[in-house]
Each structure stands twice: as C-alpha cells, then as structure tokens.
Structure 1
Amino acid sequence: MARMKPLPSVPVFCQLFKTMLTMKHYSAVVSLFQEMWKLRIPINDFMLSILINSYCLIHHVDCAFSLLPIYLKTGIPFNVVAFNTLLRGLFAENKVKDAVELFKKVARENICELDQVMETLPNVFNYNIVVDALCKDENLVAAITLKNEMKQKGIHPDTVTYGSLIDGLCKLGQWEKVRTLFSEMVNLNIYPDMHTFNILIDGLCKKGKVEDADEVMRHMIEKGVEPDIITYNVIMDGYCLDGQVDRARRVFYVMIDDNAQSTALVGV
C-alpha cells in the first residue's frame, strides 16, 4: 500500500488498523504506525486512537501518553475516545492517582464532556475515586454533578460517595448543603455510618462549631451508631480549641466509662 501510486486514501489505512486491532495484533499496529510516520503517510485521529488502545491493551500506557505530542504537532484535536482509552489503560495498570489527575485536567480545561468521559468508569468504586479527588481539589460543583450523573446512569452512590462530598462541603463551610446531603442519604436508605458521622463532627469542630458537633454525636448515638476513639478525640479537640477544657475532660471520662463497659461486656 505504501508503494502504490497514487497512495491509497486514509480510510483504507484506517480499515487496516481496525482489522489488525480486531485480530489482536497490537504490536503490529504499533509497527505499522511507526512505518507510516516514517514514510510521512497521512494519519488521523482514528489511527491515533487505535494506536493508544493497542499500547494500553499490552499494558504500555506510558507509551500511549508519549503519543500526545503528535496531536499537537499535526493539529489533530484531542477527542473523548482517546481520553477514555487512556483512563481505562491507567486503571488497568492500577495507576489510580494518574487517572484522577488526567480526569481533573479534562474537567478543568473542558477538553471534553464529563458525562462522555465517565462512560469509562462503570462502577461506584471508580466514581468514588474521582468524586473524592474533585472534593479534595475543592471542585464541589463538579463532584456533586458527578454524583447526580451516577444516579442517572443507574450507579447508586454509597456512604463513601456521600462521605467525600460531606467532607468537602464541611471544609468550605457550606452547612445547608451538608444537611441536604444527609437528608438525601436517608431518603435513599443510605444510612450514615460511624465514618460519615466522624467526618461531619470533625468538620464542625474545625470550624469552631463544637456545640453542633456535640449535638451530631448525640444524634449518632440515638441512631444506634456508637462513637469510636476518633469521635471522642475530635470532640475533645474541638472543646479544647474552643477553650472549654472542662467539657473536654468530661468527654474524656465518658470515653473511659464507655470503654470499660465494652470491655466488661466482652469479658461476659
């Protein structure tokens, strides 16, 4: 084909790439592209996407990323297929942090639509990774949007999803949204666990709302969720920061009594 005059059209070469990928000749796809590049045969986004996919399927995602400068050099626009493939390749190699960073770059720079990219992330575990990363990046709007998209796609948010969102909202002091999320959890029969309550209590204490945190702990106990050492430590720290050392001391004694009772029950 390379020696034919006139040269076959680009779609003909694309069909060759597609056939080789279907036959799982991934290394041959790489060799063919290298030869075409050397001979200056025209390439397009379809070929690049197949090449990226081939590298990812043989677990050479780093080589796939090395192709990105070709997009810049040739003026071929980045597309959602290429980014989906890169994300999938990163997850396949357990490079979760790199996948999250890539996703955040896509979100920040509006390279492609988030809902299209998320077709690569089919389960709640993978969604939770990205939601948590967005929350830590203080991009709560995108995180909440992603949570809503999960429900639209039939993927149910869990306590981990809501825990990340509540933590992010607490750090920004958006208490009304925190209350809304708690109500939403209960309405969806997703009951806050000890970890979720601890996140909220810690967030309140760090914002100087220790009385509210104490009320949350009481509510937590009423709902049958027993405080753990983290809960008590956070409340004590909150009271100390608020200058209420005596109340912190009382919480400390309550913690000791609760631990003693638990030990006695175990002994029985």
Structure 2
Amino acid sequence: MLSLRPVRRFCSATTAAAAASSRTTAPTRVPKPKPLDEPALVKLKAERDPDKLFHLFKVNAHNRLVIENRFAFEDTVSRLAGARRFDYIEELLEHHKTLPQGRREGFIVRIIMLYGKAGMTKHALQTFYDMHLFGCRRTVKSFNAALKVLTQTRDLEAIQLFLDEVPWKFDISPDAFSLNIVIKAFCEMGILDIAYLTMVEMEKVGIRPDVVTFTTLISAFYKNDRPEIANGLWNLMVLKGCFPNLATFNVRIQHLVNKRLAWKANALMSMMWNLGINPDAVTFNLVIKGFCQAGFLGMAKKVYSALHGKGYKANCRINQTMIHYLCKAGELNTAFGMCKVSMGRNWFPSFDTIVKLLEGLQKNGQYRNAEVIMELVRKRTPPYSAYELEAFEAIMSQGRIQ
C-alpha cells in the first residue's frame, strides 16, 4: 500500500551616449541606417532545421526576450524532441540551469517539465535533486513538477518510492495537488483501488481531498463500470462538505447518458441550475445526445431551444449531434437548415452525417438543397479528403440520374 510520511509544511539598465562635436570644417557625413535585424523570437519560430534551430537558440542563451519566453522554450524543445535530438535538448537545458534565472524555482520547474515533455524523465528528476547546486530552494511546487513527470512513466514502484521518501528527505509537505497528480495517474493505469486508498492515506496525513480528487475518482469508476462506488464517492464528497462543480456534474451526466438514462441526466442538469451551477456546452450536448439516443427527439429539440433561450450559443458538437439525429429521424428540412448555417460558420458535420443528409435529400427529390450542401462542402477549408469528396460526388451523380 502507498504510505505517506507526515512531514513538516513550509510553506535593464539603460545607458546614455554623449556625442562629441567636431572642429573639422568638412561636412558631417550621416551614416546609412543599418537594416533592422529580424527579432530572435521570429527567427526561432520560422526555423525548421533542427541543427540551425539549436544553434540559433544557443546564440540567444542570454537574450531575456528568448529565455523568459515560455512559448519559445516549449516550441524549441518540442521540435528538437520530434527530430530526436535529445543531445541538443540536454545541452540547452543544462546550460540554462547556470543562468541567473536558475535560482528561481519557477524557472527550474519549467526545465523539469520540458525534460518531461521530451520524455527525458531521468534528466527531469536529476534537475529536481540538484536544485540546491543552482542556489534554488525546493518547495512543493518543484516537487509536484517532478512527481508529474515521474507519473508519466506509469512505474508504480518508482512513484510510491518518490512519494514516500522525497518529502521526508527534503522537508517538503505534499499538498492536495500532489496527491491529485498521483490519483489521476493511478486511474489512467487502471488501478482504481490503489487510487482510492491513496485518497484515504492522504487524509491520514492531514491532506484533505478536494473536488478534483473526487471528480477524478468518480469519473474513473464510472468509466470502468463500477457505478456503485462512483455514486458512493459522490455521497461521501457531499458529506465531507466538498460540493460537486461543473466538471463533476458533467461526469455524472455522461454516465447517465451512456446508460440511456436521458431523463435522469436532464433532471441532474435542472439540479445544477437550482444550485447556481451554470451548465456549459458539454452539459447541453450530453443531454441532447441522451434524448436523441433514447428516441426522444422532441425533448432534444426542447433542450436545444432552451439553450438559446438562456443566452447560450450552440457549438459545432451540439449542431453535429442534432443534424445527425435529425437525418436519422428523416427530418431533412430541419437538418438541411441547421447544416447550412453550421457550414457557413465553418462547422462541418462528420462525413457519415453529410452522407446521410445528401442521400436523404436526393431520395426526397430535394436536389437543389443537396446541391447547396455540396457547394459548401467543396469550399471547406481544409478540404475533405479525395476519398470523401468522391463519395459525396457519387451520391450527387445518382440523384442526377434519377
């Protein structure tokens, strides 16, 4: 079992140049202005050759605009990792530890996470262990960064050892975020019982589970078809005074929709309003999909209308769901109108949905409407694949023959 030792908490200068006047009578020559050099950040973004990218970043190792720019760091490391130039990544990041910024924990945390994104776990952990060599103080912030990188390995023994020994060794007190990292990893590994016991251990050392803890566990138990435990966790969460948030409600509504319990899902959304928690597009899409799957298209339409009535706007996924099930129910006029509006916003339904709509329109003799859909399909950016376009054209050709 995962054990946690209780540990004590602890919590450019600008320079001015003077111009000397000349006693010579010769006319003063005005030097030609030098062409402005392209900014380093622009060069880094445009460079695609990994060797040139590495050398360009290295040349700008002391350029604050570069080293303080999070995107430039992440983008450079990501592209070097894609080119499998891990030697370049190591050289760049190891050098950056020696900069004055290396004394800031936030800067070292960035290096730890970048090593993690590149899959260089050992380098990430070693950076954490060596922080005192850079004159940088460790806190739970850097501990969590190293822990997050370690959980990506899915090495249960290594995670347990790190969580048990490192806080004691460096006098760091893990927090709820620390344990949420571990619980999420264990859930993704499918070891739900250990994930639950981790929460129990967390409370024993004075770390209270939060809504993220419960939501992660509830979601995992629902996905693994263990609803009795998920429902029990929901009740336990409320009993402990930790109330569900939007994400928690969406997780439960997703479960109800999967079980074809559309009415219960809708009732739960109503409860959200009563508790002052506003549903989001995900909530509406789930409830609409639930009613559609259960064969209550009329109720799905009502929820869709209610969405607009409360000031929300349907997004691509909600429209996709409605168009798909309208076509399936044979309500082609409504599906056509919604599809036309969606495509005008560059929201294109799935390939199967468009096939269903075109076939239905052709079958009903609505050739003009089918042509309108095809005109929009041809204008899509990025375009459909050659195979998909060929399939659409084949359907249109059959209609012209008829």
Is TM > 0.5 for Structure 1 vs Structure 2? yes
What does residue 77 of structure 1 align with? none
Contact in 1 for aligned 2:144/2:178 (Cα 8 Å): no
Q: 1:225 aligns with which of 254, 277, 287?
A: 277
| CA offset digits 1:98-125 (Å, max 9, x no partner) | 31134x4225x9x967973685771111
RMSD over aligned Cα, in angstroms? 3.5
Q: How does 1:7-156 map to 2 (within 5 A)?
A: 62=122, 94=145, 97-102=148-153, 104-107=154-157, 116=164, 119=167, 122-156=174-208
Contact in 1 for aligned 2:124/2:149 (Cα 8 Å): no
Larger helix share, 1 or 2: 1
Contact in 2 for aligned 1:170/1:204 (Cα 8 Å): no
For residues 92 and 115 of structure 1, the distance between their equivalents in structure 2, rounded to whole angstroms, comes to 9
Contact in 1 for aligned 2:202/2:208 (Cα 8 Å): yes
Q: 1:246 aligns with which of 280, 285, 298?
A: 298
For residues 173 and 65 of structure 1, the distance between their equivalents in structure 2, rounded to whole angstroms, comes to 36
For residues 197 and 143 of structure 1, the distance between their equivalents in structure 2, rounded to whole angstroms, comes to 21
For residues 221 and 112 of structure 1, the distance between their equivalents in structure 2, rounded to whole angstroms, comes to 41
CA positional deviation for 1:90: 11
Q: Which moved more, 1:117-126 or 1:193-202?
A: 117-126
- Change over 3 Å in CA distance of 1:253–1:89 after alignment to 2: closer
- Change over 3 Å in CA distance of 1:136–1:62 after alignment to 2: closer
Q: Which moved more, 1:135-144 or 1:161-170?
A: 135-144
Contact in 2 for aligned 1:90/1:98 (Cα 8 Å): no
What does residue 201 of structure 1 align with? 253
Q: Secondary structure at the match of 2:260?
A: coil
Contact in 1 for aligned 2:125/2:146 (Cα 8 Å): no
Instruction: Give the greater-gyration-radius structure (CA).
Output: 2
Which stretches in structure 2 are left out of the alignment for 5+ residues?
A: 1-107, 116-120, 127-138, 313-402
For residues 247 and 114 of structure 1, the distance between their equivalents in structure 2, rounded to whole angstroms, comes to 52
Contact in 2 for aligned 1:91/1:99 (Cα 8 Å): no
Contact in 2 for aligned 1:201/1:235 (Cα 8 Å): yes
For residues 126 and 141 of structure 1, the distance between their equivalents in structure 2, rounded to whole angstroms, comes to 18
Which stretches in structure 1 are left out of the alignment for 5+ residues?
A: 1-55, 67-87, 261-268
The share of aligned pairs that are identical, in percent, is: 27
For residues 194 and 89 of structure 1, the distance between their equivalents in structure 2, rounded to whole angstroms, comes to 27
CA positional deviation for 1:210: 2.2
Contact in 1 for aligned 2:176/2:207 (Cα 8 Å): yes
For residues 89 and 137 of structure 1, the distance between their equivalents in structure 2, rounded to whole angstroms, comes to 24
For residues 247 and 100 of structure 1, the distance between their equivalents in structure 2, rounded to whole angstroms, comes to 44
Q: Secondary structure at the match of 1:259?
A: coil
CA positional deviation for 1:208: 2.6
For residues 257 and 209 of structure 1, the distance between their equivalents in structure 2, rounded to whole angstroms, comes to 24
| CA offset digits 1:160-202 (Å, max 9, x no partner) | 1111011101112222212211111111111111121111112
Q: 2:220 aligns with which of 163, 168, 175?
A: 168
Q: 1:215 aligns with which of 244, 255, 267?
A: 267
Contact in 2 for aligned 1:173/1:207 (Cα 8 Å): no
- Change over 3 Å in CA distance of 1:166–1:89 after alignment to 2: closer
TM norm structure 2: 0.39
